[in-house]
């Protein structure tokens, strides 16, 4: 997936939003629905919702875990 700046003035496709899209989310598939056009406000709301659901792992766990204290 890619997040790119919108090249055309297209209406936001998120729910009932009637703003002009600022960004386009491009998916890997090909076809008529391969792009999702979103405005800055809806993208921010989507970012907050994803942040609540998907929490990144702490850096200690990614590198190799904590060392045990004896």
Concatenating the DSSP letter of every residue in the chain gives -EEEE-SS--B--STT--SBP-EEEE-SS-STTSEEEE-HHHHHHHHHHHHHH--PPPHHHHHT-PPPP-
Does residue 65 surpass a pLDDT of 60?
Answer: no
Count of domains observed in the chain: 1
Whether the model pTM is above 0.85: no
Please check whether residue 69 lies inside any domain of the structure: no
Summarised one tens digit per residue, pLDDT across range 15-61 is 889 899 999 999 888 877 788 999 999 999 999 999 888 877 776 66
State yes or no: pLDDT of 64 exceeds 80.
Answer: no
Residue 7 lies in a domain: yes
53 or 66, which is more confident? 53
Residue 70 resides in a domain: no
What local confidence, expressed as pLDDT, does residue 41 receive?
Answer: 94
């Amino acid at each position: 997936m890619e997040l790119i700046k919108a090249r055309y003035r297209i209406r936001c496709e998120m729910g009932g939003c009637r703003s002009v899209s600022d960004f386009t989310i491009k998916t890997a598939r090909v076809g008529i629905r391969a792009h999702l056009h979103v405005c800055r406000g809806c993208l921010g709301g989507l970012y907050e919702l994803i942040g609540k659901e998907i929490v990144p792992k702490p850096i200690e766990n990614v590198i190799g875990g904590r060392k045990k204290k004896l």
